[in-house]
Structure 1
Amino acid sequence: MGLQTGKTLILALAGGTIFQLLHIPLAWLLGPMTILLVWREVFKKKAEWHRGFRNAGLCVLGYMMGITFNAEVAGQIAVQLPSMAAATLLTVAFGLVAGWVTVKRTGISMASGLLGSIPGGLSQMAVLCDEVEDADMTVVTFMQTIRVMAVVFIVPFLAFHGLSSGGTEAGSAVTAVASAVSSVSWMSSNTLWFVLAVAIMLVLGPKLHLPTPYMLGPMLGAALLSVAGLEAPSLPHWSVLTAQVLVGAHMGVTTSLSSLDNWKKLLPYALFGAIGIVLFSLGTGYLLTLWHPMSLLTAFLGSAPGGMTEMGVTGAALGADLSIIVAYQMFRLLFILFIAPYIVKGLLRLYRGRTDSPVKGF
């Protein structure tokens, strides 16, 4: 590790620590990104980060998501597949419409507007910026961060104060979350199989041209073994935080503020879009309760555009059905990772064909 890379790592860890102390959501992802962005853009200092570190972080995050996909979750997806597809398509369509309105009102590139408005994970959408022409990582990260903050604050508030019956114990959270992810020690015989599956998918992912192969490959390898019945070795908490730092540092080093000259104009549209998609998800959740015998709390947490971790913990604390929540969140994640890039690229080709000119940025 070179001197510049070492300085970058120290800054990234400092940013994560500060955000953690301030209780900011996704502290170890947003903290490193923010402090390195300020270091480069405000203080005009150099920062270096090898792409391999980012890929290693994506691998860990992919494995973490993959072992969540067990036989119970697969069963829920099989039973409720039509409703999952409908809920996901409606939510994504709402996000794309909000993105289109933002593009027309602010002048950002169409690629940035669409990726910034799709209800996917912050890290997933930032990674997709590398694969979609004309997408501006700074704009996408800004819009997705606004959405994440809105989801993190609004969804639990509505769940706890509006949808909870008040008859559950918060202490059940640990047991419920533990039951959602089967895990064993790394000293078990299953470890070799999971390591082998992840290694194989790391090789095959780029060759198969999978979107975000260093995350999606390990996720698929781990998910296949989990569905087959093998108990997955759990990841220590520090490794997940380390992975977020590795990805966050990459985002901070590769993001530029030069394209956010009119952030004041972009902010209200990003904010209204984020709040709108949360409220739209609440409406979608209500429709799901008419389709399947589930509570509005479970349906809302399943369809809300947040991560499995945040929605799972909220659902566990309130006694919601975790298998359904994880199943809906996993389906949306798979849809966004596999299909959303092609939808965005198709829409961009259609848009460029009609305008007969390159998509413009700020």
Structure 2
Amino acid sequence: MILVTFISLIGVVIFELFSFPVPWMLGPLFAVLLSQFFIKKVSLEWPSYFRNIGLVIVGAAIGHSFQFDLFAGMGWLILFMLILNLTLVLLTTIMALGVEKFSHIPLKTAITCTVPGGISQIVTFAEEEKDINLAIVTYFHVIRVISIVMLIPFFVSGHVVKGDDHLGFSISTLLPLGLLILACWVFALIGKKLKLPVPFFLTPVFLVLILQLTSFNIPEVPVWLLHIAQLFIGAYIGFLLKPSMLKLGARVITIGIVSALVLLGITLAQGWMVSYFFNYSLPTGFLSTAAGGLDQMSLLATAIGADISAVTVFQMFRLLFIFIIVFPMLKVVCNWIDRRNGQIQDAKVDVSN
């Protein structure tokens, strides 16, 4: 873990030197990702609870920055978000048929590879279903998240609005800030017990939003703490792509990368539409529609000065859409494929008899 921390800081320094976007997240991501392929004699470790700590910090920061006036035109906004997500599901279904045809991956695996959900939720679904290649599904979604998290900041780097950097170190704010982070962590553990989606991110957001409606004086999360959170999350994402995943075969690896780039192109086009219709900045539009996950996109929004409230609402709607509509539909489709395959097998047996 000490070595990974050192590698991550090297990544930060390099990204700062070249003025690359989001250095405290992308620097560790690139550095850790590449180091796995060269460092063989030392076992690199980065526990998931580091990522969870980072998510809690980011969740508290986003809850503090959230603007409630976004809900004023919610009726039109919900309809627009519904159309965007239905279109995305339709296009990813077409992508799944293409993946099946060109990579010879079974249809159930191909559909699970292209559905725009979170890694942990999709992998859990794949584990529960039979006849789904878990390694391929994991690889496709890891490549999708890494490509989106790495490429979007470069796409929008010319449009970035710098955030406030005045929040530095202050002894007087340490105690209330520490209590806030501790409370967010405790509530996140409760959210995990209740099996809420992305509990270490969503629960702190909701907790701070509720506290803001009371008379509590909520401390603002300083920039230096957000940098630590970005490093924790960036290093974790860098670990997602394992060297062993490259043993899946050249065809599967290539199609995984191509599908990730196609999905990125689709969501970037949707992001441009959001920017056009709602007069958001380009970073806000892109991050609102990108299929990189609620936690990662909200973190990037805080890092590049996008509208955190809009990005969080758009990504939260997609998360609910996936849980309420996409996963049940995916279950129905998988059952239909199982029945169809069973009928084909039965027909083959009858013919052979």
Name the TM-score, length of structure 1 as normaliser: 0.69
* Residue 126 of structure 2 is aligned to residue 133 of structure 1: yes
Q: CA RMSD in A?
A: 3.9
Question: Shift in Å at residue 349 of structure 1?
Answer: 0.8
Paired with 2:56 and 2:196, the residues of 1 have a C-alpha distance of: 14
Paired with 1:148 and 1:330, the residues of 2 have a C-alpha distance of: 16
Choose which of 35, 47, 54 in structure 2 pairs with 1:50: 47
Residue type at the aligned position of 1:272: V
Question: Shift in Å at residue 218 of structure 1?
Answer: 1.4
Paired with 1:143 and 1:265, the residues of 2 have a C-alpha distance of: 11
Aligned length: 311
Partner of 1:203: 189
Contact 2:191 2:199 in 1 (8 A): yes
Contact 1:36 1:47 in 2 (8 A): no
SS in 1 for 2:196: coil
Paired with 1:286 and 1:144, the residues of 2 have a C-alpha distance of: 25
Choose which of 35, 41, 56 in structure 2 pairs with 1:39: 35
Partner of 2:201: 215
Residue type at the aligned position of 1:244: Q
Partner of 1:270: 260
Residue type at the aligned position of 1:330: T
SS in 1 for 2:197: coil
Quick one: structure 1 residues 211 and 150, their matched pair in 2 at CA, closer, same or farther if it must change by over 3 Å? Answer: same
Paired with 2:313 and 2:31, the residues of 1 have a C-alpha distance of: 33
Residue type at the aligned position of 1:270: A
Partner of 1:187: 172
Choose which of 247, 258, 261 in structure 1 pairs with 2:233: 247
Residue type at the aligned position of 1:251: I
Quick one: structure 1 residues 345 and 276, their matched pair in 2 at CA, closer, same or farther if it must change by over 3 Å? Answer: closer
Partner of 1:85: 78
Residue type at the aligned position of 1:146: S
Partner of 1:164: none
Q: Map 1:85-124 to 2 at 5 A.
A: 85-106=78-99, 107=105, 109-115=110-116
Contact 1:12 1:35 in 2 (8 A): yes
- Deviation larger for 243-252 or 102-111: 102-111
Paired with 2:33 and 2:331, the residues of 1 have a C-alpha distance of: 32
Question: Shift in Å at residue 215 of structure 1?
Answer: 1.7
Contact 1:205 1:213 in 2 (8 A): yes
Paired with 2:176 and 2:44, the residues of 1 have a C-alpha distance of: 40
Partner of 1:319: none
Quick one: structure 1 residues 101 and 31, their matched pair in 2 at CA, closer, same or farther if it must change by over 3 Å? Answer: farther
Quick one: structure 1 residues 84 and 198, their matched pair in 2 at CA, closer, same or farther if it must change by over 3 Å? Answer: same
Paired with 2:314 and 2:85, the residues of 1 have a C-alpha distance of: 9
Quick one: structure 1 residues 249 and 156, their matched pair in 2 at CA, closer, same or farther if it must change by over 3 Å? Answer: closer
Question: Shift in Å at residue 219 of structure 1?
Answer: 1.7
Contact 1:59 1:214 in 2 (8 A): yes
Question: Shift in Å at residue 341 of structure 1?
Answer: 3.8
Question: Shift in Å at residue 149 of structure 1?
Answer: 5.1
Question: Shift in Å at residue 7 of structure 1?
Answer: 2.0
Structure 1: any 5+ residue segments left out of the alignment? Answer: 119-124, 161-172, 289-295, 317-321, 358-362
Question: Shift in Å at residue 330 of structure 1?
Answer: 2.4
Partner of 1:328: 310
Residue type at the aligned position of 2:97: K
Question: Shift in Å at residue 329 of structure 1?
Answer: 1.9
Paired with 2:31 and 2:324, the residues of 1 have a C-alpha distance of: 33
Partner of 1:74: 68
Paired with 2:260 and 2:239, the residues of 1 have a C-alpha distance of: 23
Quick one: structure 1 residues 210 and 311, their matched pair in 2 at CA, closer, same or farther if it must change by over 3 Å? Answer: closer
Identity %: 19
Contact 1:66 1:220 in 2 (8 A): yes
Partner of 2:330: 348
Choose which of 305, 315, 324 in structure 1 pairs with 2:287: 305
Name the TM-score, length of structure 2 as normaliser: 0.70
Output one character per residue of 1:23-60: Cα deviation in whole Å (capped at 9) or x when no partner. 44343333333333333345445212223222212211
Output one character per residue of 1:310-353: Cα deviation in whole Å (capped at 9) or x when no partner. 66887x7xxxxx8xx44432211322444434444223212211
Paired with 1:236 and 1:54, the residues of 2 have a C-alpha distance of: 18
Contact 2:4 2:32 in 1 (8 A): yes
Paired with 2:332 and 2:146, the residues of 1 have a C-alpha distance of: 28
Quick one: structure 1 residues 57 and 32, their matched pair in 2 at CA, closer, same or farther if it must change by over 3 Å? Answer: same
Question: Shift in Å at residue 66 of structure 1?
Answer: 1.5
Paired with 1:132 and 1:30, the residues of 2 have a C-alpha distance of: 29
